[in-house]
Structure 1
Amino acid sequence: MSLPDAVRIREIAPRLTFQDHVVPTEVKIELVGRLIDAGVRAFELSSFVRPDLVPGLADAEEVFARVPRVPGLSLGCCVGNTRGLARAVGAGADTAYFLLSADEEFARANTGRSTTDSLRELERMAAFAADRNIVLGTYVIFAWGGPTGPARSGEDLEPLARRLLDIGVDHWILADSSGYAAPPQIRELLTAALRHVPPSNLTVQIHDGRGMGLAALLSLLELGVHAIDTSLAGSGGHPAMPGTQGGGLCTEDAVQLLHLCGVETGIDLPRLIDTANWLTSEVGVPGKGFVRHTGCVPSTAQPGEPLAFTW
């Protein structure tokens, strides 16, 4: 199995968790500060969407303004329309990803538009972003299927992929929003996507609702996709799907697996675990995961040395 030397982990808990779990702005700033101290440098920080629909993210501008800036930091967000994109530009977001759903029913529940109408809106947004200092990409939510319907194949992705390229949007986040994909399904759909865009333009966001997230992670790396979205303590949810498990792949579990495989993330795992426990216990956010309960695999390695385990 051939794996890369390093990957970029983008932490999405500030958006995914707090869109469903309302907390004061100060808590969000402390969370991001703790994660920066642990070495995280890429974030999906919030969403610029209607505050009446997602009240937990009504403070998006304030969060962007107050997050400490450090070298190498990348701050992204979600947007639902051109108005939200303009807010993201004004807040200084580096990247903005449109909330495009492959599932028609969820598209209407999430943004009030069909998938076809959403693509028309994305076309307007691409024209707006063309002369502004921001990278506009798009989610493909439920890319592998769900939330209730059957799995989607690489063939199912083809017409949507061609339409996105016609619009001029070639940075994609493919989200396994319902946790449908085992390694064969990961490989099939990613192979289809890679016929249209290079691996550097793809981010994959795995949701671990069915326990296959870590297995899927290694398949992504083998295919050359080195940008992965994860969520601290596996936390998260969505106001359009109340009561549904909506958490992302657990960041600290993913980081431990990567480090044990010799793949560098730049993240301090013990600090990450401390932050995950803080999030779940002191803030009261529901969480998942293993390593924060059991601790890291013991090692005698010094920083920069290959891992050497004590058994």
Structure 2
Amino acid sequence: MSEENTVPPQVHIREIAPRLAFQDHPVPTEVKIELLRRLLDAGIRAFELSSFVRPDLIPGLADAEAVFANVPRVPGLSLGCCVGNTRGLARAVDAGASTAAFLLSADEEFARANIGRSTGESLAELERMAAFAADRGIVLGTYVIFAWGGPTGPGRSAEDLEPLARRLLEIGVDHWILADSAGYAAPPQIRELVTAALAHVPAENLTVQVHDDRGLGLAALLPLLDLGVRHLDTALAGSGGHPAISGRRGGGLCTEDAVQLLELSGVGTGIDLPRLIEAANWLATEIGVPGKGFVRHAGAVPSLGQGAQALDFSW
């Protein structure tokens, strides 16, 4: 690395377990707040806390306002959520959300199962929401769920993303979360789709949400860094699922595994790995949320943080 690039690169990890885990495994509000306290103690400052959607559809997230009201406030906190329509966005604004992400699915069948609309109808709703959000102090972005394919169909390519990307920019929504919701993407697919997305939006506006349904999650991280992606969504203990695809694995990439790989690669996260592992074990055992991952079982690599060589990702 050159002298000008001696500062190690940083990655901003957003923890999505408070939404992804509890939409499939309902728990009392006070348990969610305890999880957030533990994650804050570990140094996490960005969260997807909940979804402002109909409680009859996702009863595990019916307490979204209460979660937002009770999360401890600390400096640098970023509180995000999911929304499905303008009414949900208004609730998010009233609750004090920093960001809101529209639930847009690239898969038509899942789009109808999830929010009862086609992808085209969803884009029309998103256009109305963008007008509503314009002067209300909230950043409105959008998911592209199943961006790489799934939940049952074939993989998707960069070519498949193009018409959706152009429509999103026409609407004026340029903050995107590309979600590999079914865990289809190996590094070549990661590179292809993210490169296509970066032709439309800057890296600081792009988040990639890695899932690990097929064991490919960790392999996605270094290609993402090489492409300049700095915003990653992960889920503590690999937790998560979705009522619309009940019985399928739907967890995010384990936050604790991702942090270890990044730190060993010389990429800073600002997260205390031992405390994160404690939080992951607490989530998996005391609440009964199924947990995956490696580092919480095997323990962290002993040399972690002791002179790891930063890799040159040409940021």
Answer whether contact 1:95 1:137 (CA < 8 A) is retained: yes
Answer whether contact 1:4 1:221 (CA < 8 A) is retained: no
Deviation per CA, 1:76-134, whole angstroms, max 9, x where unpaired? Answer: 00000000000000000000000000000000000000000000000000000001110
Give the TM-score of the pair, scaled to structure 1: 0.96
1:300 and 1:217 mapped to 2: Cα distance?
18
Structure 2 residue matching 1:240: 3-state secondary structure: helix
1:19 and 1:300 mapped to 2: Cα distance?
33
Matched, 1:281 2:282: no
The residue aligned with 2:229 is: 225
The residue aligned with 1:150 is: 154
Deviation per CA, 1:155-180, whole angstroms, max 9, x where unpaired? Answer: 10000000000000000000000000
The AA in structure 1 aligned to 2:167 is R
Deviation at 1:307, TM superposition (A): 3.7
**Structure 1 residue corresponding to 2:187, chosen from 165, 183, 197:** 183
Answer whether contact 2:260 2:304 (CA < 8 A) is retained: no
Unaligned stretches of 5+ residues in structure 2: 310-315
1:21 and 1:297 mapped to 2: Cα distance?
31
1:198 and 1:5 mapped to 2: Cα distance?
17
Cα RMSD after superposing both structures: 1.4
The AA in structure 2 aligned to 1:37 is D
Alignment of 1:1-311 (within 5 A): 5-299=9-303, 306-307=307-308
Answer whether contact 2:191 2:224 (CA < 8 A) is retained: yes
Structure 1 residue matching 2:109: 3-state secondary structure: helix
Extract structure 1 runs of 4+ deviating beyond 4 A.
1-4
2:80 and 2:304 mapped to 1: Cα distance?
36
Deviation at 1:299, TM superposition (A): 2.1
The total of aligned residue pairs comes to 305
The residue aligned with 2:312 is: none
Deviation at 1:217, TM superposition (A): 1.1
Deviation at 1:300, TM superposition (A): 7.7
The AA in structure 2 aligned to 1:163 is R
Structure 1 residue matching 2:149: 3-state secondary structure: coil
Q: 1:292 to 1:126 in 2, by over 3 A?
A: same
What percent of counterpart residues are identical? 81
Give the TM-score of the pair, scaled to structure 2: 0.95
Deviation per CA, 1:3-37, whole angstroms, max 9, x where unpaired? Answer: 96110000000000000000000000000010000
2:308 and 2:135 mapped to 1: Cα distance?
46
Answer whether contact 1:141 1:174 (CA < 8 A) is retained: yes
